[in-house]
Every structure is written in structure tokens, then in C-alpha cells.
Amino acid sequence: MRPRSPPEDLLLLRRSSLVTLMSLGCLVGCAHVPDAAPRVAVELPVAPVARPSVEAPSVAPVGAVGALNVKSEAPPPLAFVTPEGSEGLAALLEADPHPVPEEAGVIAAALEAAALFTGPTQGPGGFWDELLPPPSKLARGIVARAAQLVGARRLDRSVPNDCSGLVRLAYLQAGIDLVAHGFLAGENAVTGIFRRAQAAGAVHRLNPRPGDLAFFKETYDRNRDGKRNDGMTHIAVVESVAPDGTVTFIHRGGKGVARSRMNLARPTVHKLNSGALLNDFIRPASKGMRAYLAGELFVAFASPGAL
């Protein structure tokens, strides 16, 4: 027996329900498309960013707080000075005289921010004192000997009575003879010591530490021609580094052994409006030439550990 066809009204109702269900299904499906559809990762070119890394320094400051050890992933390269020529040294002397303003600025800002939450960065109970390891015996010996000579107008007769003689006496206290390697023809003592430091891998332009050597250029007219073409002419011993990056160094100047300051974040600033001294003058004004600050004539540091 042939089955009876459903009434036309019933067919219309079923079709309407089916359409409604299909529409609801589409709506539900669309609502879940972002989860169901495969995701496509779009890679955009991103320039590499040098991120500073923070390390606890190996040597703490003597007599003051040290600077935070901030290293860049791409520090300025230093050319090696070979015995056959001085092209590397010349390139370094012509380099940017203010190599680390950004890093030093980061140091000061970080310490100021930390002080808001932890209190003073230095002094009894300051977090900075807790962070830094005790000074090494090597650094303590070098700095202590240099500090003993502050105020002296004459040095021991075993060394020249100049800036190189001071650093030699300070380093001999730690058993390091800075001129044992000898000198090349025509080079002065400062350049000779720098050559040795560079050969030993001790030269750097960031993160000064107590006991480090500090090298300067054009601090006086060595060849007496009235021009700034004398190269490396001055050397000192770092005594301490303040939280704002201001370096106190001991050197033999025109008036004897003295302390001076240098801030590489603000190398052209002598004093702040508050009266705080950032950079001492280490080259006096002369005929046709202005005076120069320590930060302006800075070249590099050298660590005693590698010497």
C-alpha cells in the first residue's frame, strides 16, 4: 500500500523549522570561528634592542658607594695598539669623548627609583651596601697607597715626579710594576702603560671600579706647538664611584697629588645648580684655548686584575 503524502501545511512547517535550525547553526558556527579557524602568526621585523644586564660588581668602592655594573651587549670596540704602529690608539683618541652618557643616566635613575622604596642607597642599612661585595685586597692596596700620597708635592725618587709616577707607586703596593714591559721609541709613560693594559685585555670604557686606571688625552701641550695633538697625556687612579656615576680619582697634577671628579653622564658640566661638582678642570685655559673638564678629556679605564 503506497504511503500517504504529508499534508502541504506540514511540509511547509518542517521546511521552516529546518531553515531556522540551519540559520541558528550558522550563527553558532560564526560565533566560534576565531577558536576553530587556524591561527596564522605574522612575523614583523623588529630591530634588535640592546638590553643592559645588571651584575654585582667584583670590587666595591672605597670610601664611597660604587656605580651599578651596567653592561651593554655591544660596547664600543677598542682598537688594539700594535708595536708596529699607533693607528689603533689614534682611532681611539679620535672617538666620541663622551662614551657612556646613556648608561650612566640609567644608573642614576635606577638608584633614585630604588631609594623611593628601600630608603637611602648608601650608609648603614642602605640596600646598596648589602648588594656590593667587600673590596678586594688588590683594590684596597692600590687605593690606600694613592690616598696616602694626596697632598704630596714630591714623589719617591724611584719614580718620576708626575702622573705616571703616582700610579706606579700605587700599583707597586699591590705588586704590579706598570712599566716592567718597557717602552717603545717615542712613546710617553702614559701611552706605554695604556699599551700594556690593552694587550692584557684590561681596557674598558664602562663600569669604573676603585683601583682602576683612568686615562686622559690632551691635558697639556706636550709638544708645545699650541695645538691639541698630543694624544694620551695623563693617568690617574680611581678612588670611588658615587651612585650618580661621579668618579673620584687621585692624580698628580700641577699642584701635587690631589683628588678630582669626573661624571661621564654629564662630561661638559662643571657644577649643578645645587652646587654639586661633577667635573673638575684638568686642563687650564691658555692662549686661544679654553679650559677643559675631566669628562671631556677622558679616554678609557683599565682594571688592575688583568695587569
Q: What digits encode the pLDDT tens for the residues 149-178?
A: 999 999 999 999 999 999 999 999 999 999
Most confident region among 13-17, 21-25, 180-184 by mean pLDDT: 180-184
CA distance 80 to 204: 12
Q: Which three cell numbers stand for residue 73?
A: 651587549
Rg (CA), the chain: 33
Q: Which of 63-67, 96-100, 229-233, 302-306 has the lowest mean pLDDT?
A: 63-67
The residue with greater pLDDT, 17 or 208, is 208
Q: Which amino acid is at 167?
A: V
CA distance 297 to 262: 10
Q: How confident is the model at residue 202 (pLDDT cuts 50, 70, 90)?
A: very high
Torsions phi, psi of 259, nearest 5?
-95, 140
Q: What digits encode the pLDDT tens for the residues 28-66?
A: 344 444 444 444 444 444 444 444 444 444 444 433 433
237 touches 228 (CB < 8 A)? no
Residue 123 pLDDT greater than 80, yes or no: no
Nearest to 278 by CA among 235, 232, 245: 245
